[in-house]
Structure 1
Amino acid sequence: MNRTGSARWQALLAFVRSLVTAGVLVTLYYLLPLDSSFTPTTVVALAVGIAGVALLLAWHIRRIRQSPWPGLRAVEALAVIVPCLVLLFATAYLLMDHTASDSFSEELSRTDALYFAMTVFSTVGFGDITARSEPARLLTTGQMALNFLLIGVAARLLMNAVEESRRQHEQRTAGTG
């Protein structure tokens, strides 16, 4: 298979892997029993989840640097990392709402919590669901801060990994040609 055909195949594989991964994550979010309360254990679990997302980012950066298709790997990394972060916060919002129903302007279903987390992530903020309690506002503010980090720092790290991989690939190609 020539490089163009291989690139198309790699793009298709990256798209399918990203779609399947996001689908599995969303399915787990809807199927896992999330009827407990928002407790200190939840806060620890959220912190561990955020650390896990950071480790996942580091793993993807390493994978990008080693890949002959770094741009595709960077897109795939974002297609996995963003849903992980949004679903972590959706879970936290849902559990917080179970604990204190006045935390948000309305009672949250799983879909409402996911919707709220996504509107916070995208900075759209329609205002139909709002954080009312101080803990809910602190959690929302924390998500906003992490969103900026993900958009700024993670995107830069991913782009650096892509550039480095391409540079290494060009050096290898120039050395053999």
Structure 2
Amino acid sequence: MRPSGPLRDLPPARRRWAVVLSVLESGLSGAALLGAYALLPLSAGTSLPELLRLVTAVVLVAAVAARQVRAVPRAGRPVLRAVRALCVSVLFLLVVFAALYVRLSAGDPRAFTQPLTRIDALYFTVSVFATVGFGDLAAVTQPARLMVTVQMLLDLVVLGVVLRVLSGAARMSLVRGRPGHDQEDPPRGRQP
């Protein structure tokens, strides 16, 4: 069983250890996602339409993010779990869109300014996420531009809504864990 309670209640050595474990767990999750991206077959060849593939990807990203959000209030260390959840959600979003871009480029080499390798696609996905836009790679065809637009919108959702939900869930979990607080949130507004 994992220890629980706020980090601030731990002695410094245990606090550092809890953070190190959280970083290691995030790193292992990231390595697993990147390993799957590197090893899974992504060549074109299925008859699945790009729009259906895009909708499936959006649903998968939403499901992973929702699962991560639900895990935060139940965690022993909700703040660390919220950070891990954000890392997993963002990386999953990046890997899913990189895989979509590889498949799209394999099916239509003109979809981008040049055919994309896995590394090119991951680089492009991170550039879009970070809003850097170096200009060396760009979406050219309508399906590619649609996918990039959806990624940009999801990036905003991840950065805005998911971060807000995760921080709120962590904060709520911390408040509920304090002695003297009921399991329900106190009512807001004026009391009768």
In the superposition, the TM-score normalised over structure 2's length comes to 0.82
Say whether residues 1:75 and 2:83 are aligned partners: yes
Deviations 1:1-53 (A, max 9, x none): 98224332221111111101111111111111111247535543442332222
Q: How many residues align?
A: 173
Larger Rg: 2
Say whether residues 1:149 and 2:153 are aligned partners: no
- Partner in structure 1 of residue 32 of structure 2: 24
Pick the aligned partner of 1:89 from 93, 97, 117.
97
Say whether residues 1:118 and 2:129 are aligned partners: no
Greater shift in the superposed pair: 113-122 or 7-16: 7-16
1:27-66 → structure 2 map (5 Å cutoff): 27-37=35-45, 39-66=47-74
- Partner in structure 2 of residue 3 of structure 1: 10
Contact 2:54 2:147 (8 Å CA) reproduced: no
CA 1:129–1:19 in structure 2 vs 1: closer, same or farther (change >3 Å)?
same
Kindly state the Cα deviation for residue 103 of structure 1 after the two structures are TM-superposed: 0.9
In the superposition, the TM-score normalised over structure 1's length comes to 0.89
Kindly state the Cα deviation for residue 56 of structure 1 after the two structures are TM-superposed: 2.2
Say whether residues 1:98 and 2:106 are aligned partners: yes
RMSD between aligned residues = 2.0
Kindly state the Cα deviation for residue 74 of structure 1 after the two structures are TM-superposed: 0.9
Contact 1:68 1:169 (8 Å CA) reproduced: no
Deviations 1:51-98 (A, max 9, x none): 222222222222211223111111101111111111111011111111
Contact 1:97 1:107 (8 Å CA) reproduced: yes
Pick the aligned partner of 1:159 from 167, 170, 173.
167
> Percent identity between the aligned chains?
34
More helix by share: 1
For residues 143 and 37 of structure 1, the distance between their equivalents in structure 2, rounded to whole angstroms, comes to 23
Tell me, which stretches of 5 or more residues in structure 1 are unaligned? none
Structure 1 runs, 4 residues or longer, greater than 4 Å off: none
SS at match of 1:34: coil
- Partner in structure 2 of residue 169 of structure 1: 177
CA 1:129–1:99 in structure 2 vs 1: closer, same or farther (change >3 Å)?
same
